[in-house]
Amino acid sequence: MTDHLPYIPYNSSNKGRAKENRSPMTKAEKKIRFWVLKDRPWWYKFIRQKMINSFILDFYCSKLLLGIEIDWPSHDTRQIYDIRRSKKIWENWVKIIRYKNEDVFYRLEWVSQDVAEELKKRAKEILWAI
pLDDT digits (tens, 9 = 90+) for 95-113: 999 999 999 999 999 999 9
Share of the chain above pLDDT 90, in %: 42
CATH of the domain at 60: 3.40.960
Those residues whose C-beta lies under 8 Å from the C-beta of residue 44, and which sit 6 or more positions away, are 61, 63, 64, 119
Q: Total structural domains in the chain? A: 1
What DSSP assignment string belongs to 43-88?
G---EEEEEEBTEEEEEEETTTTEEEEEE-GGGGG-HHHHHHHHHH
pLDDT digits (tens, 9 = 90+) for 68-91: 999 876 545 567 787 888 888 888
For residue 115, tell me if it sits in a domain: yes
For residue 92, tell me if it sits in a domain: no
Q: What are phi and psi of 96, to 5 degrees?
A: -115, 130
For residue 84, tell me if it sits in a domain: no
pLDDT digits (tens, 9 = 90+) for 8-27: 656 666 666 655 666 788 89
**Distance of alpha carbon 68 from alpha carbon 48, whole angstroms:** 9
For residue 124, tell me if it sits in a domain: yes
Inter-residue contact 121 to 59 (CB < 8 Å): no
What's the pLDDT score for residue 74?
Answer: 57
